[in-house]
């Protein structure tokens, strides 16, 4: 079903929010929107809501399986506006949000779907899950000038680190919260605004009254921003993302400084959860 605006979706799109988990895909441009939709449908989401430019063309058979909202992502605070509106409309529902050209991986995703994972996560009394945004990029930028290729895909195998997240009120690190860095945002940080260099995102969460997503991908409930509960490690997931590579190669201020994204720590991405687990880019917790 197609909706002319966010308001139209909130008025008529109740069927999309009847049962979770629901994936919210925010299309900033027209690159790999179709593959992003199909991937998250196969991942086990009950519904996929796509916020996309009106000029996006999709196969009719695919468009019939999604809830499509005409939406302009270039508007200020477009992400938070869309996600927070859905939060208000769907209290209690598990939601995921990501952009086009991003693909959610969780431990054992080849044999267990996202709903099974979130059932386990909820049983551990968790209402949110930390995800690492792992940059992926085309190996050959001459063949793929926008740095996007599903067939020639690479990622950094090392160079990731975390720092304590200070509480502005006290100056001391917040309990069970860290700021994570690495990938292209770290290697090409001179082209990335300081406030956008983190690679952590609370992309899977349970909506509730009063919950608000903030511009830095954190929530106004600080427990949602933690990586684990107090008593043991919890599941984490990873979002492999072309978004940073694409931005660096399409932005006139950076594109001519970058001949390749590959370096001595680049490895081919195998599109498997096991590779991400082996690299320490997500955590199975107590889920075996």
- Ordered by start, the domain boundaries in the chain are 1-100, 102-288
Residue of 172, 220, 225 whose CA lies nearest to 198: 225
Residue 282 CB: number of other CB atoms within 10 A? Answer: 23
Which pLDDT value is given to residue 169? 84
CATH number for the domain running over 1-100: 3.40.50
Which pLDDT value is given to residue 232? 84
Residue 142 CB: number of other CB atoms within 10 A? Answer: 8
- Identify the segments of the chain with pLDDT beneath 70: none
Ranges of H-type helices in the chain: 6-12, 33-42, 60-63, 78-89, 114-123, 183-187, 243-250, 273-278
Q: Read off the pTM.
A: 0.96
The dihedral over CA atoms of 256, 215, 103, 17, expressed in degrees to the nearest 10, equals -150
Integer angstrom CA distances of residue 46 from 15, 37, 107: 11, 12, 19
């Amino acid at each position: 079903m197609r909706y002319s605006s966010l308001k139209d979706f909130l008025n008529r799109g109740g069927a999309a929010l009847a049962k979770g988990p629901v994936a919210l895909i925010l299309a900033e441009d027209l690159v790999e929107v179709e593959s992003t939709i199909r991937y998250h449908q196969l991942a086990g989401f009950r519904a996929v809501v796509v916020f996309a430019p009106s000029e996006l063309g999709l196969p009719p058979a695919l468009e019939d399986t999604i809830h499509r909202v005409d939406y302009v992502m270039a508007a200020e605070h477009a992400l938070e506006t869309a996600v927070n509106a859905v939060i208000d409309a769907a209290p209690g529902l598990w939601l995921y949000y990501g952009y086009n050209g991003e693909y959610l991986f969780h431990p054992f995703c080849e044999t267990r779907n996202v709903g099974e994972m979130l059932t386990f996560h909820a049983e551990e009394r968790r209402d949110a899950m930390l995800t690492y945004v792992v940059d992926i990029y085309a190996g050959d930028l001459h063949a793929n000038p926008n740095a996007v290729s599903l067939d020639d895909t690479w990622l950094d195998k090392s160079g990731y680190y975390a720092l304590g997240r200070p509480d502005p009120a006290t100056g001391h690190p917040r309990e069970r919260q860290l700021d994570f860095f690495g990938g292209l945002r770290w290697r090409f940080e001179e082209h990335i605004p300081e406030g956008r260099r983190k690679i952590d995102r609370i992309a899977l969460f349970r909506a509730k009254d009063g919950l608000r997503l903030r511009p830095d991908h954190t929530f106004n409930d600080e427990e949602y921003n933690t990586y684990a509960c107090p008593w043991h490690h919890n599941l984490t997931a990873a979002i492999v993302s072309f978004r940073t590579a694409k931005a660096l190669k399409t932005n006139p201020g950076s594109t001519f400084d970058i001949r390749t994204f590959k370096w001595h720590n680049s490895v081919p991405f195998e599109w498997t959860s096991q590779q991400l687990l082996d690299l320490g880019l997500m955590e199975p917790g107590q889920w075996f």
